[in-house]
Structure 1
Amino acid sequence: MKNVLKVVFVIIGTLIGAGFASGQEVYLFFFSYGMKGLIGILISSIIIGVVIYSTFNILNKYKINTYKDFLNILIPKNTKLKIIANFIINIFILITFFIMIAGFGAYFEQEIGINRLVGSLILAIITFIVFMTSIKGVVKVNELIVPILIGFIFIIGIISIKNIHILNLENYVIRTNYTNFALSAVLYSSYNSILLIPVLITLNNYVKNKKQIFYISFISAIVTILLSVIIFLLLVRVDVDISKLEMPVVYVVSNMFKILRYIYGVIILGSIFTTAISLGVSFLQNTAKNKKGYTQISIIMCITSVIISKFGFSNLVSLLYPIFGYLGLIQILRLCVIKISKVTVR
């Protein structure tokens, strides 16, 4: 059970990054659809659970330890397509790492008044230090930080929704997006799958059997549902145009709970940190050919992330995440139709 929790913490640490904890993702993919957004949360969380279960089953069956071998399962014959897919996935992971660094800087600017480049530089330095410890360091950091983050989110959520009449929730939630809410839910889970699967591959040595796979998938899905609903309910209390806020949940907590403002700030920063290191190590293990290359790429990646952060956090989220979703959908569909018994690793 210890390994199960270790893996779950890394998974949740990957999912609850800057976009999630700040409220940007939940607003974009769920809250803007009104009450139907809650159904969307359920749909997307179930899909994420299925993706985790399917991926670990494939990894265990074929003893896969690299994303390249995983692509040999998804795309067994087309070599050119595998090269393109591997390139695209790595670019997505790298861009999302940049978004986490930008989110860290955005918090510093919105809440403390410090230039966002300073905050981004701080996280870039910390992540570089963790990268030098590889996956073991990532697991240890998530094992320590994620349970605390989950606990804080639950506590703040309970405090914030105590005055909301749940049975009359539709009176609080105004729909601003009239496109297909179910498609939005699928896109949310599919873009997360792009980022999550490479992380799952790095964790495969911690998973030994199907029983563990089931528990990991089930617990991850349940925690995702609960945390998403809490963020959804927190957004109910936003009394200005959410689309103009970099971090809407921080706005709510700051205005309603002065004492908790800095506590939630720690949650935001911790969430960004856990996602950044998980994605960063996945990218490095996918691209670096040796220890020297690993270090060199780490340095370049961290320096570039600070430069990219000047483009703004919410702009990056709203522009890139839906695109990730459409491309991740292809990967999910492939997982669903794959006939494992008829495929061999090449």
Structure 2
Amino acid sequence: MSGYDSNPFAEPVSDNPFNDPSVTQVTNSSVEPVDQYNPFPASDGLATQTTPAAPSPFQPAVLQPSTEPSPQATAAAAQANLLRQQEELERKAAELDRREQELQTRGPSGKENNWPPLPKSFPIKPCFYQDFSEEIPPEYQRVCKMMYYLWMFGCVALFLNLLACMAFFFTDAKQGVGFGLSILWLILFAPCSFLCWYRPVYKAFRTDSSFSFFFFFFVFFCQVVIFIIQAVGIPDWGNSGWITAFIAFKENTAVGAIMIIVAILFTMCAVLSVILLKMVHQMYRRTGASFQKAQQEFSQGVLTNKTFQTAAAGAASSAAQGAFQANN
């Protein structure tokens, strides 16, 4: 009878797919469906912390547009560079000129020239450096100063000789030759005596140079002879010596007296020059200088001279070219 108890109008159990036990177990379960599942549930007792991302040390690459300079811009940049280089070269050239002028105004010791003592506003600058207490040893300072005073004394005598010859020319027109020669002797002997025998003896005492001593002895001996000739006073030679003074004294007493004074000065120059020559020679013998040292100094000075080197190179080049052309 069990078969009669079932509802004949009910759907068969096997025909309803939702009556499957596996499906009914899932639908009746308390587990949340997959589409409602939250993988990050909020925790009640814990605070949510977020850690910020560290900034990247690298900058994002930015592509710059490639722009090539135009030919006009390149030419302008090259011209500006050339102008800048030209200005730099001109500045360096001006600096070299300034340094060269400074070196020209300095003596061999590298100090500023102080002789002749001229005012700073004077257009001509000093040509030499001279300091007896600094450059000359104490044992030579006295003689070196006496040589300097002798040079100044000789210049004064030449100037007075010019005045005496001029006065003689005013009284006798035939003495024009002597007056002209007196002007020449003053212009010639005053600077040449300073350069040819005073500066060499100054350098000899300063550097103990054998070559400077020998050069001084040769030139100063000629100077002694000139002083003697001037003291004698040969007529028409431009010297107010003793002979010329006596001739002028017969024609004009005042002119003759002036010439006698000049003759006395020339005589004093001759005597002092002989005495100083002997004193310098004695000091020269004590310094240990010799002719061999003078030759060695001369050869070294000539070989290291730039002018001599340039002249020798030019002569060698000309000789080589001449020999090459002759062989051809």
TM-score bracket relative to the smaller structure: under 0.3
What's the TM-score, normalizing by structure 2? 0.27
- TM-score w.r.t. length of structure 1: 0.26
Q: Choose 1 or 2 for highest CA Rg.
A: 2
Query: Larger relative CO (CA 8 A, sep 6+): 1 or 2?
Result: 1
